[in-house]
Structure 1
Amino acid sequence: MSYSNTFIRVAADCPVETGVIPVSSKPQLPAHIIQYELLADCPYRYTHEELLYEVHVRHKQIPEEERTSRRAELWAELFSKKHPCLRASMLPKRYGWGVHYDAEGRIAIYAMESPEYDGFISGTDSGLTLLNAMRSKRS
């Protein structure tokens, strides 16, 4: 699912008070850390589909030359099945990062204590759709 002009607030049961940079001691990084690195380093570069693809090929450690030569095949294989949207990502659920999709569907993340996050959730932008991240536990 891809959004535009949408902001995903952190989950109501998010356990942190500020945006936390996710870390891992494992040699193979989990998907949410790859998401964080891509979105923190290059805000508004990726659409949802582009982000899913980049996370997939990095998580599977597919070599760069194979990514280039088999891009269409890897893309088709990845999107032959459905994927959850970023409302289900650990970034807004556990680590305190709001997710903004601009008018073109490009994505950036904002820490929940940031002035930008407050600006998005204040409702001053009447064209912006506000959604909540999915809760980690049922209420």
Structure 2
Amino acid sequence: MAEHTTNYTSTFIEVAEDCPADHAQEPPAGETPTIAELHYRMIADHPFQHTSDDVIFATWALRRGIDPSDAAARTAFFAKGQACLRASPLGKRYGWGVLSDADGRVTLVPRESEEYALLAADPALGHTRAMRAKRS
């Protein structure tokens, strides 16, 4: 059984073209953590420590009461393709770019920052955008 991955390497995921936030915003905390909140906490609190696969699986597992360290559940989860961080609300709604390093570990970059502008113009990186919230 082939394992799929959501990881990018040396790639910058820019915010979606229709992202309503002109400045990066922390997703609001709720009684039940949202996908955006879980993605934000995991990446912002631990920059360059997790891969996209780590973040996507842990979010899925936590929302279902599954231990994120359950290797069998992770293998089953990635046995089929999964949405990557391009589909995360962080880049679609909240104004965060996602930078993946050469090892696929991720960090957040606020869209209004100088770092974001430099990364968006860096020809040494792969470039893609977060998915649009609405079809054009």
TM-score range with shorter-chain normalisation? 0.7 to 0.9
**By how many angstroms is 1:88 displaced?**
1.0
Map 1:56-75 → 2, pairs under 5 A? 56-62=60-66, 71-75=70-74
Alpha-carbon contact 2:62-2:68 (below 8 Å) kept: no
Alpha-carbon distance in 2 for matches of 1:53, 1:24: 20
Map 1:53-132 → 2, pairs under 5 A? 53-62=57-66, 71-123=70-122, 126-132=123-129
Please identify the structure whose Cα radius of gyration is greater.
1
- Which protein is richer in helix relative to its size? 1
Alpha-carbon contact 2:10-2:100 (below 8 Å) kept: yes
Point out where structure 2 has 5 or more consecutive residues left out of the alignment: 1-5
Alpha-carbon distance in 2 for matches of 1:46, 1:77: 19
**By how many angstroms is 1:60 displaced?**
2.0
Which stretch of structure 1 is more off in the superposition, 108-117 or 93-102?
Answer: 108-117
Describe the shift of the 1:127–1:138 C-alpha distance in structure 2 as closer, same or farther (beyond 3 A): same
Instruction: Give aligned pairs, total.
Output: 131
Residue aligning to 2:20:
15
AA aligned opposite 1:10 = V
TM-score normalised by structure 2 residue count = 0.88
Map 1:34-49 → 2, pairs under 5 A? 34-49=38-53
Alpha-carbon distance in 1 for matches of 2:29, 2:60: 17
Alpha-carbon distance in 2 for matches of 1:106, 1:19: 20
Kindly report the root-mean-square deviation, in angstroms, between the aligned alpha carbons of the 2 structures: 1.5
Alpha-carbon contact 1:6-1:102 (below 8 Å) kept: yes
| Percent identical residues | 36
TM-score normalised by structure 1 residue count = 0.86
**By how many angstroms is 1:129 displaced?**
0.9
Alpha-carbon contact 1:22-1:36 (below 8 Å) kept: yes
**By how many angstroms is 1:12 displaced?**
0.7
AA aligned opposite 1:12 = E
Alpha-carbon distance in 1 for matches of 2:79, 2:113: 37
Which stretch of structure 1 is more off in the superposition, 77-86 or 13-22?
Answer: 77-86
Describe the shift of the 1:67–1:21 C-alpha distance in structure 2 as closer, same or farther (beyond 3 A): closer
Alpha-carbon distance in 2 for matches of 1:79, 1:49: 9
Alpha-carbon distance in 2 for matches of 1:133, 1:120: 15
